Structure 1
Amino acid sequence: MNGNELRVGMVFRLDGELQEVVASQHVKPGKGPAYMKCKLRVVKTDRSYERTLRSSEKVDLVKISDEAGRYLYRDQAIAYFLNEEAMEELQFPVSALGDKMLFLREGDDVKIKMADQEVIGVEVSDFANLKVSRTVPGFKGDTVQATRKPATLETGAVVQVPLFINEGDTIRVDTRTGEYVTRV
């Protein structure tokens, strides 16, 4: 595949490493040949950098597959997942998961994105049902100033919830935005 055909989300091998296109822009200067200005992410190290690829430069596109998985546990820097199709344990850096990690409980189902037998990403469910482990109780008449209060969930995430939510309640959270949706 030529360098000018790269689009956001594509994964390819460059310099012996898997790279994911985070952002791309086709540039056609007044003089000289066209080129692609890309922001790339090295899959293994989660390091991002910018690179210019000539239109004639060849890259090896890698096929991405989504496989069913389950979140097992984490240590300081690594999250562990079970690939349910191959029944093998896989590792992925916690830093690459970002805010998704705040809403994952042990045993939750995930979608593991694989390329060349390497984990390149993990997708969690759009919504998570989580128990409120700590919040201040609501008092009668406290709606004068605020209609929301902070609540700590069982995973350690803190979200803003309505005043009627109490400790022990289970709530649905949108994992994409980190916002309260409803009480379950």
Structure 2
Amino acid sequence: MASTNDLKNGMVLNIDNQLWSVVEFQHVKPGKGPAFVRTKLKAVLSGKVVDRTFNAGTKVDTANVDKRDMQYLYKDGDDFVFMDSSDYEQTTVSAATVGDAAKFMLENQDVTVALHDGTPLYVELPTSVVLEITYTEPGLQGDRSTGGTKPATLETGADIAVPLFLETGTKVKVDTRTGDYLGRVS
């Protein structure tokens, strides 16, 4: 248990038997009436974001979320297998829990897996990864400086938009949160 006065960004709360992550919070002390805490909470499992207001000093139930550094090993059917970097124990995570992170994960890549009572909640990738383009249309001569983009398929199977001058086999840096092209890697 913690008080609403102790809230911090990233803290996970257990409200109505659901896990909610604090996205942002603000302590408000109006000139008239009692103080209160205005929060923006994100559901850990579904990703839904809600605004919620608490009276200042109210007790809230905090959830124990353990973030562990793990290595992605391989895909087993629809599930993904990860290995804990500290004790080499393997954990199987469902495709629904991994979500969009699967589009940018390569085997043997280091990720962070959040666990609550041994149950995987979500997989966190580094903010950017380096991947190779496995297929893209060839760029036309003279299209080098127009600033246009074309679709490209990465080695993980994800499709992103890249500048016209990039070719198959080029390594690119990709933002894992948005799927945007960040630059070419030599």
Q: TM-score, normalised by structure 1?
A: 0.77
Where does the alignment leave 5 or more consecutive residues of structure 1 unmatched? none
* 1:112-131 paired onto structure 2 within 5 Å: 112-131=113-132
CA contact (8 A) 2:82 2:90 kept: yes
RMSD: 2.9
* Equivalent AA in structure 2 for residue 18 of structure 1: L
2:106 match: secondary structure: coil
How many equivalent pairs are there? 179
Residues 65 and 92 of structure 1, relative CA distance in 2, 3 Å threshold: farther
Percent of aligned pairs sharing the same letter: 30
Cα deviations by residue, 1:62-85 (Å, 9 ceiling, x for unpaired): 34332122444498xx86342424
Q: Structure 1 residues 4-13 or 100-109, which shifts more?
A: 100-109
- Aligned residue type for 1:132: I
1:90 is matched with which residue?
A: 93
Query: Using the alignment, how far apart are the partners of 1:4 and 1:88 within structure 2?
Result: 36
Question: In 2, Cα distance between the equivalents of 1:144 and 1:181?
Answer: 15
Match of 2:35 in 1: 34
Residues 173 and 182 in structure 1, CA contact (< 8 A), matched pair in contact too: no
TM-score by length of 2: 0.76
Structure 2 counterpart of 1:158: 160
Aligned to 2:80: 80
Show the counterpart of 1:145. Answer: 146
